[in-house]
C-alpha cells in the first residue's frame, strides 16, 4: 500500500512538473515580455541614438528611472584568488551600497553546467541582467540569458573576434570591457622588455594555464617571446617564428614554451599548468634556483609559486594578476619585482553599462553593436608604487572609479563611454577624479 | 490500524512528506518574494534530473549494501567519450550509444574486478575513481582543445527541453521500478543486502546480482551523461564533478537505508534529488550565501535522515 502511495506521489510529482513546464512557456513568455519592455524602449533609444549619432552629435539618453531596485546576477568562477576577492569587494562594498541594485552571486562555478544552473536561478529570481566572471561557455550563457530576455555582460576579458561577430547585434548582449588579446600580448611584451632594457639575458617563464590553451596566457607568453626576439639580435627567432602571429602559432602547436636561446637571450626554464602537487612545486623550486637565472616572467601569479625559492637570491619575479595586499608584502620581501595588475574598480564601467541596459538604456555604437572595449593593467615596479596604487584600489570610500564617475557613464554615448574606459592608467584616472 | 502501525507509516512516508513540505515552502516563499515560479520549476527539474537518473540506477548497488564512489567520474568519462564520438560521427544516436556503452562497461568492469579479486566492490570503485579522473584529463588533452571537449550547442539544442529530460527520467524510473519491484531480481537484491549469508544459503548468487546491479547503475550513468551533455555541451575536467557526492546525498535524503536490504526503495533517488534541489532554491530565496546554505542543508539533511530511520534503528536484521 505504502509502496503504491509512494509511487503515485512520485509519478504525480513528475507529471505536475511536466504540466508546470507546459505552462512555463506561457508564463515564461509573460516574464520575458515584461523584461522585453525595457528592451523595446531600448530599441527606441537605440534608434534615437543612431539618429543622433548619424547627425554627428552626442546623444542625450533619456533620464533613467533608478527608483526601483534592479536585481543583477553575478557569475563567479573563482572566489579565493586575490583578483576575484578584490572584484567582489568593489561590487559588495561600493557598488551595492551606492546604487539601487541587488547583486546576487552564484556559488563558485566549475563547469558549464554550473553556469547554466546559476543563470536559471538568477532568472527565477527576476534578475534583469547577468554579469559574468565565468568563462566555461560564454556563448551558452549569452544564449540562455537572451532567450529569457535578460541582459548579459562579460565582466573581465573580452570575447574572441569570431565570438563577438556572432553576438554583437544581439540586443541582450551588453558587451565586454577588459584586456583584449592584444592587450594581453602587450602586457607580456612590456614585462619582458622592462628587464631586457636592464640588460637581463637569462629568463625562465611560468606559463600558467598555457598548457590548457588559455588564450590570455598564451598571448602574454607570446608577448614575452616577441620582446626577446627583438632584443636577441640579428637572426633571433622563437622556433623559427619572428612575428606575433608566428609565435602565437608556435605556442598553440605545442601548448608549451621551448627552452633554449633566442639569439643572445636565454630561456633557461619553463613550468606550465597548475598541477599543484608535490612534483609540480618541486619543479617550480628547481626552476627558481637555476644557475645563472636572472628573471622569472610569469603569465599569472609568480610570487606565490616561486617567491619562497627565489627569496634571498638576485632572481627577479614578475607577475600578472591584481592589486592585493599579499603582493605588496611580496614586493617588500623581495619576492616580487614587477606587477601588471588589474585594479578592482576596472569592473565599474561594465556595471554601469549593464545597469543602464537593465534600466532600459543599453549602450550601442553607431552600428547598433555591443560594447567591446579594451582595458589594460596598472604596472608597479616598486613597493612604493604598489602601495600608492593599492591605497586607491582597496578603498571602498573613494575607489578608482567612484559613483560620480560611473554616473557619467549612465548617460554617456558610445564615444564618451569608450574614451572614459580607454583612460585606464592610474594617472589618467587620478586626473579624471 | 494500531498506533504503532500509523507511526511506522508516517516514518516511512517522511521523505515524501519532506519533499512535499519543501515544495510547499518553495511555493510560498516564491509567491511572497514574487519570483518566476514557473521558470523556477523548470530550473529545479534541470538541476535535479542528472542526479535523479544516476541515483535511480545506483539504488541497485546500494540495495546490495554496496557503495560506488566513482559514479561522478564515470558520468564525466562517459560524457566525454560520447562527445568525442559525436564529433567524429555527427550522430546523436552514436553519442547516446557511446554514453550508455561506456558507462555500462565501466560499471561492469568494477563489479567483475571485485569478483575476480574477491574484493569489496567499494574498494574497486575507489581505484576506479582515480583511473577515471586521470582518463578524463587524458581524453581532454588528446581530443579537445586542452581544456574542453565541446559538442556543438546547435546539435543538442532540440533535445534540451524539460519534456525530453523528464521523459528520460520517467522511462528509466519505470524500468527500474519494474525490475526492482516486479521481478525476482529486486527481491534477491534486497535479500542479499539484508542478509548476505542467508541469501547465499537460499542459492542466490551474490556475484550475479552484483553484475546485474552494476549494469543497471551503468545505464543510469550513461543516461545521466547523455542528459548532462545536452544540458551543457561544453565538457571539461570538472563536468559532473559534484554528481558522485550528490547521488549519495540524494539516495539517503530520499529515505534509502545506507545498509541496503529489504527497506530499499527505488523512488528514494528521485525524491532525494528533487528534495535537495528544492532545499537549494529555498536557501537562495532566504539569501543564505553558499557557506551558510551548505551548513543549513547539512543540518536539515541529518534531521531528515534521523526522522526517516527512526523506526529502523533497533530492528536491523543481523548481517
Task: Give the pairing type, strands A260-262 and A173-178.
Answer: unpaired
Same-domain pairing of A326 and A227: yes
Model confidence at B90: pLDDT above 70: yes
Sign of CA dihedral A408, A414, A417, A420: negative
A137 in contact with B, Cβ within 8 Å? yes
Check residue A322 and report its DSSP letter: E
- Regarding whether A317 and A360 lie in a shared domain, the answer is no
Show which of residues 261-320 on chain A sit within 8 Å of chain B, judged by CB atoms.
none
Flag whether A9 is in a domain: no
Percent of chain B with pLDDT over 90: 53
Instruction: State the pairing for strand pair A316-322/A338-342.
Output: parallel
Burial of A239 (0-12, 13-18, 19+ CB in 10 A): middle
**Judgement on whether residues A172 and A243 belong to the same structural domain of the protein:** no
Residue A28 binned pLDDT confidence (cut-offs 50, 70, 90): very low
Q: Please, are residues B145 and A213 in contact by the beta-carbon 8 Å criterion?
A: yes
Do A162 and A192 belong together in one domain? no
Pick A136's closest partner by Cβ from B163, B173, B234. Answer: B234
Residue A76 within any structural domain of the chain = yes
Q: What pLDDT digit, counting tens, does each position of A209-230 carry?
A: 898 888 899 999 999 999 999 9
Considering the domain architecture, whether residues A202 and A320 belong to the same structural domain is answered as: yes
Higher pLDDT, A403 or A47: A403
Lookup: cell for A387: 602601495
Mean pLDDT of A103-129: 93
* pLDDT of amino acid B135: 92
Greater pLDDT, A37 or B75: B75
What pLDDT, on the 0 to 100 scale, is given for residue A58?
39
- Do A277 and A299 lie in one domain? The reply is yes
- Mean pLDDT, residues B235-254: 89
Say yes or no for a CB contact (<8 Å) between A112 and B236.
yes
In a domain, A135, yes or no: yes
Q: Are residues A187 and A334 in the same domain?
A: yes
For residue A191, being part of any structural domain is answered with yes
Number of domains, chain A: 2
- Sign, CA dihedral A257-A258-A262-A267, equals positive
CB pair distance less than 8 Å for B241 and A110? yes
- Residue A107: pLDDT band with limits 50, 70, 90: confident
pLDDT surpasses 50 at A253: yes
Are A142 and A202 within one domain? no
**Is the pLDDT confidence value at B223 over 50?**
yes
Question: pLDDT class for A77, splitting at 50, 70, 90?
Answer: confident
CATH number at residue A279: 3.40.50.2300
- Least CA distance to B278: which residue of chain A? A121
Contact call for residues A112 and B236 (beta carbons, < 8 A): yes
Would A116 be classed as within a structural domain?
A: yes
- Which of A193, A183, A287 has its CA nearest to residue A232? A193
Residues A151 and A194 in one domain: no
Q: Do B38 and A115 touch (CB under 8 A)?
A: no
Q: Taking residues B16-40, what's their average pLDDT?
A: 93
Q: CB distance B36–A27 less than 8 Å?
A: yes
**Is A57 within the bounds of a domain?**
no
Residue A13 placed within a domain: no
Range of the domain at A313: 182-342
CA nearest A35: which of A135, A116, A124, A132?
A: A124
Sorted by sequence, the CB contacts under 8 Å of residue A409 that are 6+ apart come out as A349, A352, A353, A356, A416, A417, A420
Is the separation of the CB atoms in A350 and A405 below 8 Å?
Answer: no
Tell me if A18 is assigned to some domain: no
Give the model's pLDDT for residue A6: 52
Domains recognised in chain B with CATH numbers: 3-310 (1.10.3470)
* Residue A3: per-residue pLDDT: 54
Q: How confident is the model over A307-360, as pLDDT tens digits? A: 888 888 899 999 999 898 889 999 998 899 999 999 999 999 999 999 999 999
- Chain B interface, mutation test: which of A5, A6, A35, most B Cβ atoms within 10 Å? A6
Same-domain pairing of A109 and A246 = no
Torsion of CA B132, B136, B142, B143, to 10 degrees: 120
Choose among A383, A121, A192: nearest CA to B42: A121
pLDDT at residue B138, as a whole number: 87
Shared domain for A326 and A367, answered yes or no, is no
Phi, psi of A72, rounded to the nearest 5 degrees: -125, 130
- Among A351-365, B103-117, B156-170, the least confident range: B103-117
Asked whether the beta carbons of residue B46 and residue A5 sit closer than 8 angstroms, the reply is no
Query: Is residue A2 predicted with pLDDT exceeding 60?
Result: no
Interchain pair A31, B38: CB under 8 A: yes
Distance CA A137, CA A117 (A): 13
Q: Is the pLDDT confidence value at A8 over 70?
A: no
| Residue B1 pLDDT | 61
The residue of chain B nearest to residue A137, with distances taken between CA atoms, is: B234
Contacts with A11 from chain B: Cβ below 8 Å:
170
Number of Cα atoms under 13 Å in the Cβ half of residue A333: 15
Question: Are residues A327 and A187 part of one domain?
Answer: yes
The pLDDT tens digits of the residues spanning B38-51 come to: 999 999 999 999 99
Q: What is the ipTM of this complex?
A: 0.87
Amino acid at each position: 500500500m505504502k509502496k503504491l502511495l509512494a509511487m503515485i506521489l512520485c509519478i504525480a510529482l513528475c507529471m505536475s512538473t511536466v504540466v508546470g513546464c507546459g505552462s512555463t512557456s506561457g508564463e515564461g513568455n509573460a516574464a520575458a515580455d515584461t523584461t522585453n519592455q525595457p528592451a523595446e524602449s531600448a530599441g527606441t533609444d537605440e534608434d534615437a541614438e543612431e539618429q543622433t549619432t548619424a547627425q554627428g552629435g552626442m546623444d542625450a539618453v533619456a533620464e533613467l528611472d533608478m527608483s526601483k531596485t534592479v536585481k543583477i546576477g553575478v557569475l563567479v568562477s573563482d572566489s579565493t584568488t586575490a583578483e576575484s576577492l578584490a572584484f567582489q569587494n568593489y561590487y559588495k562594498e561600493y557598488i551595492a551600497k551606492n546604487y539601487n541594485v541587488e547583486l546576487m552571486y552564484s556559488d563558485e562555478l566549475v563547469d558549464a553546467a554550473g553556469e547554466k544552473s546559476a543563470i536559471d536561478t538568477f532568472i527565477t529570481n527576476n534578475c534583469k541582467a547577468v554579469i559574468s566572471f565565468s568563462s566555461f561557455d560564454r556563448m551558452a550563457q549569452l544564449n540562455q540569458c537572451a532567450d529569457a530576455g535578460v541582459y548579459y555582460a562579460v565582466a573581465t576579458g573580452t570575447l574572441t573576434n569570431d565570438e563577438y561577430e556572432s553576438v554583437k547585434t544581439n540586443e541582450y548582449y551588453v558587451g565586454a570591457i577588459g584586456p583584449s588579446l592584444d592587450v594581453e600580448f602587450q602586457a607580456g611584451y612590456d614585462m619582458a622588455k622592462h628587464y631586457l632594457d636592464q640588460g637581463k639575458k637569462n629568463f625562465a617563464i611560468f606559463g600558467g594555464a598555457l598548457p590548457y590553451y588559455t588564450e590570455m596566457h598564451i598571448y602574454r607568453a607570446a608577448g614575452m617571446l616577441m620582446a626577446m626576439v627583438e632584443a636577441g639580435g640579428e637572426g633571433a627567432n622563437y622556433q623559427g617564428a619572428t612575428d606575433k602571429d608566428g609565435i602565437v602559432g608556435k605556442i598553440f602547436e605545442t601548448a608549451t614554451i621551448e627552452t633554449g636561446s633566442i639569439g643572445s637571450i636565454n630561456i633557461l626554464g619553463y613550468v606550465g599548468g597548475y598541477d599543484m602537487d608535490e612534483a609540480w612545486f618541486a619543479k617550480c623550486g628547481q626552476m627558481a634556483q637555476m644557475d645563472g637565472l636572472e628573471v622569472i616572467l610569469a603569465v599569472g601569479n609568480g610570487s606565490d609559486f616561486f617567491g619562497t625559492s627565489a627569496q634571498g637570491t638576485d632572481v627577479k619575479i614578475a607577475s600578472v594578476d591584481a592589486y592585493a595586499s599579499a603582493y605588496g608584502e611580496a614586493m617588500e620581501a623581495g619576492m616580487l619585482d614587477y606587477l601588471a595588475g588589474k585594479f578592482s574598480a576596472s569592473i565599474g564601467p561594465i556595471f554601469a553599462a549593464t545597469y543602464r541596459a537593465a534600466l532600459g538604456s543599453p549602450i550601442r555604437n553607431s552600428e547598433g553593436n555591443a560594447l567591446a572595449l579594451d582595458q589594460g593593467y596598472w604596472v608597479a615596479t616598486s613597493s612604493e608604487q604598489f602601495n600608492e596604487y593599492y591605497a586607491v584600489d582597496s578603498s571602498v570610500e573613494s575607489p578608482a572609479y567612484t559613483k560620480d564617475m560611473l554616473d557619467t557613464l549612465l548617460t554617456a554615448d558610445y564615444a564618451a563611454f569608450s574614451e572614459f574606459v580607454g583612460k585606464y592608467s592610474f594617472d589618467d584616472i587620478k586626473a579624471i577624479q | 490500524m494500531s498506533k504503532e502501525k500509523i507511526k511506522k507509516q508516517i516514518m516511512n512516508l517522511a521523505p515524501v512528506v519532506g519533499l512535499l513540505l519543501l515544495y510547499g515552502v518553495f511555493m510560498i516563499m516564491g509567491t511572497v518574494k514574487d519570483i518566476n515560479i514557473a521558470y523556477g520549476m523548470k530550473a529545479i527539474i534541470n538541476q535535479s534530473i542528472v542526479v535523479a537518473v544516476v541515483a535511480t540506477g545506483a539504488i541497485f548497488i546500494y540495495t546490495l549494501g554496496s557503495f560506488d564512489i566513482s559514479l561522478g567520474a564515470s558520468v564525466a568519462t562517459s560524457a566525454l567519450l560520447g562527445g568525442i564520438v559525436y564529433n567524429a560521427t555527427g550522430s546523436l544516436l552514436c553519442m547516446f550509444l557511446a554514453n550508455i556503452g561506456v558507462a555500462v562497461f565501466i560499471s561492469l568492469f568494477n563489479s567483475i574486478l571485485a569478483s575476480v579479486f574477491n574484493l569489496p566492490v567499494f574498494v574497486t570503485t575507489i581505484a576506479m575513481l582515480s583511473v577515471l579522473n586521470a582518463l578524463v584529463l587524458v581524453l581532454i588533452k588528446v581530443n579537445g582543445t586542452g581544456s574542453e571537449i565541446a559538442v556543438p550547442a546547435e546539435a543538442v539544442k532540440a533535445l534540451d527541453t524539460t519534456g525530453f529530460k523528464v521523459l528520460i527520467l520517467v522511462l528509466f524510473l519505470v524500468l527500474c521500478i519494474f525490475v526492482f519491484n516486479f521481478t525476482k531480481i529486486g527481491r534477491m537484491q534486497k535479500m542479499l543486502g539484508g542478509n548476505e549469508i542467508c541469501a547465499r544459503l537460499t542459492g542466490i548468487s551474490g556475484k550475479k546480482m552484483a553484475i546485474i546491479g552494476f549494469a543497471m547503475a551503468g545505464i543510469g550513468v550513461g543516461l545521466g551523461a547523455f542528459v548532462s551533455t545536452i544540458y551543457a555541451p561544453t565538457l571539461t575536467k570538472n563536468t559532473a564533478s559534484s554528481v558522485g557526492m550528490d547521488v549519495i546525498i540524494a539516495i539517503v535524503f530520499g529515505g534509502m537505508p545506507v545498509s541496503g536490504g529489504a527497506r530499499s526503495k527505488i523512488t528514494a533517488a528521485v525524491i532525494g534529488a528533487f528534495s535537495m534541489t528544492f532545499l537549494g532554491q529555498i536557501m537562495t530565496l532566504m539569501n543564505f550565501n553558499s557557506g551558510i546554505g551548505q551548513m543549513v542543508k547539512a543540518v536539515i539533511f541529518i534531521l531528515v535522515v534521523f526522522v526517516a530511520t527512526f523506526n529502523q534503528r533497533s530492528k536491523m536484521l543481523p548481517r
